[in-house]
Amino acid sequence: MQNRFRPLKQDVIQASQRLRPGRKEARHFGVIGQSRPLPLPALVWGRVPLMVYTEGDALYEAMLDAIRNAHTQVWLESYIFSSDVIGERFTQALCERARAGVDVRVHVDAAGCLFWGFDQLEPELVAAGVQVKWFHPWTWRDPFRYNRRNHRKLLVVDGEAAFFGGFNIHRENSLREYGELRWRDTHCLVEGELALEAAALFEALWVGDRGWMPRMPERPSCVLVTNQGIRRRHALSRLILRAFARARKRIYVTTPYFIPNENLQRRMIAAARAGVDVRLLVPERGDVGLAHWASRIAFRPLLRQGVRIFYYGPRLLHAKTIVVDGEWTTIGTANMDYRSFLLNYELNLVSRDPGIGEVLENQFFEDLESSQELREVSRLFASPVEHCLGMLAWFARRLL
């Protein structure tokens, strides 16, 4: 059968081959066939070209513009791809590029898209030539795989630009379509080698090569971190723990779901007791009830040991960022919970660029202006019933 898609540019192909070795080469480099965790990269100070987005309308316009100007490839992953007005816009742009001969692929999560109507958009996409794949659809032969989800939100265009972060494709993030109560989220755009690396990570998950990982530079100022493969399952949590242990001045965490393990709790407490300004920003009301209650249980020891916790009230907070001492940062798709650290497939950028740190810290303090600090443990639960719900949710935290 004749391939209806145009091939990638030769330089993109060659760069992808450099970044993504075959399985034999991967075994030679110790990526496949070993369970021992890979060593963590030692980040050095440096500048990282990066654009941060905190408004859905600006982000969606940039993504759609990149799609419309694509020449060779448009590869999209989204945990949620809704059939609303935002999803329709993306569908039209993707279909137009596929008809023009561009290699267009859409990888959606079966659990994430379950109630968002993506199945209504799929026939139009497929008819236009878009390759569509559902990640871990339900099957009686292997029902437990449904619990491990592709939580990444990634768009790669021509191997030259990559968008990723917390934004899903739905109207809830749009001021024009949803109004003042739109979700508060954070996304970023990277280009060059990082975009090529993101494309290679997309392809690896697309073809089912879950053990592949990119080669790690010797002295990077930034790295893309995923928990793809058993040797990288704990990479992000280990990087965060190391950054917290080395913090000297401040740790600012923004997350919609905070259900930490004991190591993370101890590290935050140790930092606070050592005089580090440790602040945690979470939504006042979450969109997942059990996760909301479980996080309240996790707050108690932190509050008692000097960690400052703030409730963001105006909108639903969905951003996932960390800044340590104004220079170590991470931004991406991972929440501070068991599911992101142990179960889901995630993608985060970790860097030591003070410029990124300044942008994320400024956004953090802007969010604090619309937040209220939780000062007393007694205010965590309004009634004994709520406390019981919190305890039940905490016991089930590994499943949330």
* 155 SS3 class: strand
Q: Is 24 a catalytic residue?
A: no
Residue 123, CA distances (Å) to 5, 95, 178, 318, 323 in order: 19, 11, 26, 30, 42
Beta partners for 157?
74, 161
Q: Is 320 a catalytic residue?
A: yes
The arrangement of strands across the sheet holding 347-352 comes to: 222-226, 347-352, 328-332, 321-324, 250-254, 277-283, 308-312, 371-374
Rounded distance between C-alpha atoms, residue 261 and residue 301, angstroms:
12
Catalytic choice (109, 158, 185, 367): 158
In the Cβ-directed half-sphere of 93, how many Cα atoms lie within 13 Å?
Answer: 24
Catalytic choice (320, 337, 353, 367): 320
Catalytic choice (151, 170, 187, 292): 151
Question: Are the beta carbons of 173 and 183 closer than 8 angstroms?
Answer: yes
Catalytic choice (107, 318, 337, 367): 318
Residue 182, CA distances (Å) to 80, 177, 258, 290, 314 in order: 16, 9, 21, 22, 9
Q: Is 71 a catalytic residue?
A: no
> Which is it for the CA torsion 114, 335, 32, 201, positive or negative?
positive
* 115 SS3 class: coil
Q: Is 337 a catalytic residue?
A: no
Rounded distance between C-alpha atoms, residue 375 and residue 372, angstroms:
9
Catalytic choice (103, 107, 109, 153): 153
Residue 270 C-alpha from the chain's centroid: 27
The one-letter amino acid code at 332 reads G
Question: Are the beta carbons of 340 and 210 closer than 8 angstroms?
Answer: no
Q: Is 318 a catalytic residue?
A: yes
Q: Strands 250-254 and 277-283, how do they pair?
A: parallel
Residues with active-site annotation:
151, 153, 158, 318, 320, 325
